[in-house]
Amino acid sequence: MTMMNESHHPEEFILLGFADRPWLQLPLFTVLLITYPMALVGNIAIILVSRLDPRLHSPMYFFLTNLSFLDMCYTTSIVPQMLFNLGTSKKTISYKGCVIQLYLFHTMGGTECLLLALMSFDRYVAICRPLHYTLIMNQRICILLASVVWLSGIAYAVSEATVTLQLPLCGVNTLDHLLCEIPVLIKTACDDKGTNELTLSIVCIFMLAVPLCLILASYASIGHAVFKIKSSEGRKKAFGTCSSHLIVVFLFYGPAISMYLQPPSSISRDQPKFMALFYGVVTPTLNPFIYTLRNKDVKGALGHLVGNIICSK
């Protein structure tokens, strides 16, 4: 454990990761080396087909494009640093690098919480208010709602990360984690951190619990409306679209809630590492495949795009 002047921030942080389990490093490095390109390719493919295929120029795919771009930024904010640390004996990140990672990671995380809720609202209007859908979810409204979501995510990250960075570390520059994350920095601080833990919990109620409740309420109404649809084909299509989104919601919110809606001091040692890998790497990698495999429109558009590329060559 390195010591430095308490009045100054450390020049770098030592990220312990799985230092006590060296046998995990090579398998984890291999998994990240495979999943990171998959996440990039999958999300880029979703963005391309949503933009290039006129049949996908709708609010649903506009928000899906936002989600794919967000997921690319999410994984890129942490995976390259993880790969570097796992592939070398140097397990450090500079203070500036930690600050940048802290802001980027939590901006993307906060934005995704709200974006998933916005996507569920879009599905609610499409299924429960079909006659008013084009009026309510017009292009101007969609851009406005997406802007509010992104700005709210940035505001959350800036406020929480800035407050967390003010906590004194009392000479400690060792983080028992794979990246710089707010709960771990709060847990590492040596000062009275009760106020910070309470603030984080309150903010995360609005960022996690409230959006999740809105999502569940939306899908309760959607489920009620779907069962009223007489056409079995119509019910199947509605369930297919909504089930993809619900899978993504539970994959993201489950680990995030278990991490952020409890005091950092009560978090077990390895929990932050596995949770960060799940909602920061696994979920963004699976999202494109979940939407692609369960959506005929996306599969058709993707096949059409690949066909055009092959024919042009």
Per-residue pLDDT of the chain (313 residues; tens, 9 = 90+): 343 444 457 788 888 888 778 888 889 999 999 999 999 998 998 898 888 877 778 898 899 999 999 999 999 999 999 998 888 878 888 999 999 999 999 999 999 999 999 999 998 998 888 888 989 999 999 999 999 999 999 999 999 999 888 888 777 788 888 889 988 888 888 777 777 788 888 888 889 989 999 999 998 888 888 777 777 766 776 676 677 788 888 888 988 888 888 777 677 777 888 888 888 898 888 888 887 766 666 666 666 666 666 666 6
DSSP element (H, E) containing 87 = helix 79-87
Domain annotation covers residue 4: no
Give the model's pLDDT for residue 1.
Answer: 38
Question: Using CA atoms, how far apart are residues 151 and 72, in angstroms rounded to an integer?
Answer: 18
Domain annotation covers residue 6: no
Give the model's pLDDT for residue 293.
Answer: 63
As a residue count, the chain comes to: 313
Task: For residue 147, give its domain range.
Answer: 12-312
Tens digits of residue pLDDT in 101-148:
999 999 999 999 999 999 999 989 988 888 889 899 999 999 999 999
Domain annotation covers residue 152: yes
Domain annotation covers residue 240: yes
Position 116, amino acid:
L
CA geometry: angle 242, 244, 247, nearest 5 deg: 110
The torsion angle over the Cα atoms of residues 269, 270, 271 and 276, rounded to 10 degrees, is: 120
Residues in Cβ contact with 250 at an 8 Å cutoff, skipping those fewer than 6 apart: none
Q: Are 183 and 203 in contact (CB under 8 A)?
A: no
Residues in Cβ contact with 241 at an 8 Å cutoff, skipping those fewer than 6 apart: 60, 123, 295
Domain annotation covers residue 106: yes
Nearest to 280 by CA among 105, 18, 69, 86: 105
Number of domains in the chain: 1
Domain annotation covers residue 278: yes
Tens digits of residue pLDDT in 285-309:
888 888 776 666 666 666 666 666 6
Question: Using CA atoms, how far apart are residues 100 and 13, in angstroms rounded to an integer?
Answer: 13
Give the model's pLDDT for residue 263.
Answer: 74
Domain annotation covers residue 2: no
Give the model's pLDDT for residue 100.
Answer: 94
230: CATH = 1.20.1070.10
> Tokens standing for 242?
């909504």
> Tokens standing for 189?
């601080």
Domain annotation covers residue 166: yes
Give, rounded to a whole angstrom, the gap between the first and last alpha carbons of the chain. Answer: 57
Phi, psi of 85 (to 5 degrees): -70, -35
